[in-house]
Amino acid sequence: MSRSVNKVIIIGNLTRDPEMRYTPDGQAVTSFGVATNRRWKSKEGEQKEDVEFHNLVAWGKLAELCSQLLKKGRKVYLEGRLQTRSWEGKDGVTRQRTEIVLEDMVLLDSKGAPMEEGLPEQAAPPEEEIQLSEEGETEKSSVAEGKKSPEDGKAKGAGDEEVSEDEIPF
């Protein structure tokens, strides 16, 4: 049996505030950008850095939550799949855009983190993580003490795949 995988995991900072819209049938869709950095030493021993910019799209309840909780500059863990779409512009030229269609999101910074414009009231209390999945489940855990609150457990993503905190690579 031939199998393929289309899975993206990134940790980065939002480059712009999320923009939420609704489709004609009323489904929420939110788009935003995230930057990731890579650092290395060249053969000459010089420090190098590269920044990669990613376009993300969330649908449904997850789109609404992203719109409410995310702001430019916030650090997030994001999980999803790559999707390339194409369209014809007004000038007749075919264009393409590759996006990450979001399945899971975890806020990594605390409410007290420095920001340009501050955070919404619904943001996480200090030293807590909030994980949001495509199904709209919200889970909290105390990072400082390494404890889970009673409503915690394993997060379920769009594929109902369970992910524990131990599996997140940070």
Residue 155 has pLDDT above 90, yes or no: no
Domain ranges of the chain: 8-40+48-167
pLDDT of residue 113: 53
pLDDT of residue 135: 53
Q: For 107, phi and psi rounded to 5 degrees?
A: -75, 130
pLDDT of residue 2: 81
- What average pLDDT is seen over the chain? 77
Domain spanning 8-40+48-167, CATH class: mainly beta
- Give the pLDDT confidence of 45-98 residue by residue, as tens digits: 999 999 999 999 999 999 999 999 999 999 999 999 999 999 998 999 999 999
pTM: 0.63
**pLDDT-based confidence at 125, cuts 50/70/90?**
very low
Q: How far apart are CA 61 and CA 162, in angstroms?
A: 19
